[in-house]
Structure 1
């Protein structure tokens, strides 16, 4: 679909990948970009229209869909990593990950599906991860929430096909954000994630494999478990 002249909403737009998405949309000619943030009063990015949106708050989602009724692109980017390790720690963080990363994306998608339909179909983008496909003993709750969001993405692709909505899943390994500051591993810049996602929207492509890690893990899904979880 055409990004130039479009109207977009990005959740979790205050920093990191969400802010990169918002800036990329403007750079590609979007006519308006709603920046979904928890505290609009603390957000002042030039060119963006702050919109109060906590993806776990039903009333805020409903209000956002009413305000942003001109949207043609929705990017579900809001996400957290808050869960415990595999064998210890409170499960409250894991429940929060599911609420934000999975159920939040689902709730926003439900609310905006009729908006997209009314505006010609448009595009729905879910920011996923290689964790959608490969579990992690350090962050099991996060990986589980992203696996659930990947399943949701596929269900939305089927469910929104008749209304002409392009559904895009974006997968990537480590991205250079505040959340990964303590991770010693190669990282992709948020701007690169955004750029490749914009290209996919423009080409009507349903899946984005941003880096070598995403491409390798995606290919391993058709092989043995040893490919996903090597023992050496």
Structure 2
């Protein structure tokens, strides 16, 4: 995937990783549609702003119609409710799945016809492969989105659509503000993602946390969850 000259659409581009994606895509020579549920919160010069709620089918369809020239879809929009699976509110858990799984799938289905010889970048998480107290709903939704990424990659191979998954631990964004854990620079994460995309990588492990969690999958899970 060559970013220079590409036409990219970034979901959740008003803050966090999404804003960094929009900025760096512009710097690399792409035309950028920056989307958000509240488009007035997108404050980046040089982007084309579109309203988009990925959990609303009508909103997704409208975005696909308005941005018919997109060649790179960056599925970044996300939510973190803090809901655990056993004790958390079911509505919050459903919101996680509606956003990360069903919302991502809706975007891919809407844009896939125009992404032949193009690319999709899904922002996943190290929690696609692990769990953490207070993030059970998020982890389950991201696990579903990770395997969605694998399945879509196979389904779209015939039309030469590159599908890349970005895996990371905590980044220093608004979403992670309430967590007292080591956090990566979001600009560094996005650079790694775009470098990996241009290199044709299927997965980009953008930090030490993602690398460590993936390496743990071949071992007894008790080692991972009892260490430290």
Shorter-normalised TM range: over 0.9
How far apart, CA to CA, are the structure 2 residues paired with 1:42 and 1:181? 19
Query: 1:41-80, aligned counterparts within 5 Å?
Result: 41-80=40-79
Q: Size of the alignment, in residue pairs?
A: 228
> How far apart, in 2, do the equivalents of 1:49 and 1:85 lie?
37
Are 2:39 and 2:51, in contact at CA under 8 Å, matched by a contact in 1? yes
1:139 to 119, 135, 140: 135
TM-score (norm 1): 0.94
Matched, 1:20 2:20: yes
* Structure 1: 5+ residue stretches without partners: none
Please provide the CA RMSD for this pair.
1.3
Task: State which drifts further: 40-49 or 203-212.
Answer: 40-49
Q: Equivalent residue of 2:158, what SS?
A: coil
Measure, in 1, the Cα distance between the counterparts of 2:192 and 2:73: 16
What TM-score results when the alignment is normalised by the length of structure 2? 0.96
- Give unmatched runs, 5+ long, in structure 2: none
Q: Is the CA contact 1:65–1:115 (under 8 Å) kept in the aligned structure 2?
A: no
Match of 1:8 in 2: 8
Alpha-carbon distance in 2 for matches of 1:115, 1:78: 20
Counterparts of 1:84 and 1:194 in 2: how far apart (Å)?
A: 27
Aligned to 2:122: 126
Conservation of the 8 A alpha-carbon contact between 2:14 and 2:41: no
State the SS of the aligned residue for 1:24: helix
**Within 5 Å, which residues of 2 pair with 1:190-201?**
190-201=186-197
Report the counterpart of residue 96 of structure 1 in structure 2.
95
Q: Aligned match of 2:179 in 174, 179, 183?
A: 183
Secondary structure class of the residue paired with 2:170: coil
CA contact (8 A) 2:168 2:206 kept: yes
- Give the whole-Å Cα distance in 1 for the aligned partners of 2:10 and 2:123: 10
- 1:185 positional shift: 1.6
Confirm or deny: 8 A CA contact 1:83 1:97 kept in the other structure: no
CA deviations over 1:91-129 (Å, ceiling 9, x no partner): 111110100111100000111110112xxx211010000
Separation in 2, partners of 1:41, 1:136: 34
Map of 1:116 onto structure 2: 115
1:86, distance to aligned residue in structure 2 (A): 4.3
